[in-house]
Structure 1
Amino acid sequence: MGYPALNGRTAVVTGAASGMGEAIARQLVADGARVALLARRADRLAALAAELGPNALAVAADVTDQAAVDAAAELVHETFGRVDLLVNSAGVMLPNPVDDGRIDEWSRMIDTNLTGVLRMIRAFGPDLVAAAAAGGTADLVDVSSIAADVVFPNYAVYGATKAALTQLSAALRSEYGPRDVRVTNIEPGLTDTELGNHIDNPALGPDGQLGAMFDAIGPLAAADVADLVAYATSRPRHVNLRQLVVLPTRQA
């Protein structure tokens, strides 16, 4: 499905090298937006940008690195100018029992899933405010997770970062909404992405607990989430779909 209202918009999408971020970028470009593809893997981004054409810009950057985010913002502004749509889709999911004390994983999830979002908002939030003040449509979209609301054993820290992101979105709405910047928080359920490949505990990964959930439930496709992002951001300027939960039909 296409969303003509997105034609001419200028977007930044994090986590664009794969999964939901890639699918969101593809959807936005297909709908006529200019999209900066931001992620760590430069080779994947370059290939995607070449496929999508001149409305796609590859921007290799790690959202946990402030200097990299600053350089990315400079490149985006030099190439595309002011941004009016920011999608925070970059994230990592590293489940393990809390008894394992995996501070390395905890730090990585907090730095990416929460602080990384704040870095992006710091870089592009002023653009959104300026776009709205000029009479345009401006959107901040945070891709959270159903884990923000539902408890999954071994996912305590991941769930905590996503709960923080959902709360952050709600709080930002109180600051941005009066200035006509929309904030949408999306909480997908089980979705087919590369996140499971980062799990280093075989009992919890694609060949264990996560794989069993995929078999029992059947996941969403990343394109399903992308379609929801495009739908939400293509509504009339005065309409904010503030909180969206999207689940596979079989996921309770």
Structure 2
Amino acid sequence: MTSYDSLATRTAVVTGASSGIGAAVAELLAASGARVALLARRQDRLTELAARITANGGQALPVAVDVTDAAAVAAAVRRVHQEHGRADLVVNAAGVMLPNPILDGRDDEWQHMIDLNLTGALRVIRGFAPDLVASAAAGHRADLVNISSIGAHVVFPDYAVYGATKAALTQLSAALRAEFGPQDVRVTNIEPGLTNTELGGHIDNPELAGQLGQMFDNLGGLAAADVADLVAYATSRPAHVNLGQVTVLPTRQA
């Protein structure tokens, strides 16, 4: 695992830290010396990850939270502040992908993707944005990283609502870059292509699940650690350098 020594003084918050990209980001930031608050719903997974990070010499705070719950996010922000103080690096990696034909009319899936992929990210940003602004004002690097998807602009049949939530996250990142950039807060939007995480395991449509499996067979896929490495690289750049919009794909994916 590559580490980034310039992250050693940072205090990071990572959502979706119980698995996939979020867990990989948290491990790499901790291995690079950052203090990391692990935010996700599954307490058992967070406790296990925190123990692994600690055993490897890192610092991790597990905070069980559902980012679709505004009160729970507010409580998590208070907990991070109590234990770690002000955050200067926030990574929104929580997300869910539930594809189905739009004519199926799956309100449950639509609402869950909107609540988690977009509104959940907004709640986390609202909670920690004052920290980022204050950190930058004090002369420190301050970073907001949103994990979007190539689904934000590449059309996949039956993934319309998922793609819409990710397009909204990508547009939100661009707007926040305009809002926070003059205050020296960097905003990075990362759009991974095919990546081997738990997202595919949430698909309840056998045909679509099979299509996704075939894509992995044909194209290969990124590992979560590949995306984590990009997060660490972007946030370890000099303060005047903002890698604002990054797409990362497996080499065989067009």
TM-score range with shorter-chain normalisation? over 0.9
CA shift digits 1:190-234 (9 cap, x unpaired): 0000001111111111xx111011101000000000000000000
1:95 aligns with 2:99: yes
- The 5 A counterparts of 1:210-249 are 210-249=212-251
In structure 2, the gaps of 5 or more residues are none
Which letter maps to 1:204? L
Q: Which residue of 1 aligns with 2:20?
A: 19
Which letter maps to 1:179? Q
CA distance in 1, matches of 2:125, 2:45: 24
Q: 2:170 aligns with which of 166, 171, 181?
A: 166
CA distance in 2, matches of 1:241, 1:249: 21
CA shift digits 1:69-120 (9 cap, x unpaired): 0110011000000000000000000000001000100000000000000000
Which letter maps to 1:159? G
TM-score, scaled relative to structure 2: 0.98
Following TM superposition, the consecutive aligned residue runs of length 4 or more in structure 1 with deviations greater than 4 angstroms are none
Shift of 1:8: 1.2
CA shift digits 1:45-91 (9 cap, x unpaired): 01111111161000000000011101100110000000000000000
CA distance in 2, matches of 1:100, 1:160: 17
Q: Which residue of 2 aligns with 1:146?
A: 150
Q: Which residue of 1 aligns with 2:111?
A: 107
1:198 aligns with 2:214: no
CA distance in 2, matches of 1:7, 1:73: 21
Q: Which residue of 1 aligns with 2:43?
A: 42
Q: 2:211 aligns with which of 209, 212, 219?
A: 209
Which letter maps to 2:22? G
Shift of 1:149: 1.0
CA distance in 1, matches of 2:9, 2:64: 23
3-state SS of paired residue (2:206): coil
TM-score, scaled relative to structure 1: 0.98
Q: 1:84 aligns with which of 72, 83, 88?
A: 88
Which letter maps to 2:84? F
Shift of 1:130: 0.2
CA shift digits 1:131-173 (9 cap, x unpaired): 0000000000000000001000010000000000000000000
CA distance in 2, matches of 1:92, 1:240: 27
Which letter maps to 1:65? D
CA distance in 2, matches of 1:198, 1:125: 31
3-state SS of paired residue (1:59): strand
Task: Give aligned-pair identity as a percent.
Answer: 73
CA distance in 2, matches of 1:32, 1:248: 28
CA distance in 2, matches of 1:167, 1:197: 27
Q: Which residue of 2 aligns with 1:121?
A: 125
Q: How many residues are matched?
A: 250
Q: 2:187 aligns with which of 172, 183, 192?
A: 183
CA distance in 2, matches of 1:200, 1:2: 37
3-state SS of paired residue (1:135): coil
Which letter maps to 1:144? S
Q: Which residue of 2 aligns with 1:29?
A: 30
Q: Which residue of 2 aligns with 1:9?
A: 10
CA distance in 1, matches of 2:52, 2:183: 36
CA distance in 2, matches of 1:193, 1:137: 29
CA distance in 2, matches of 1:72, 1:28: 20
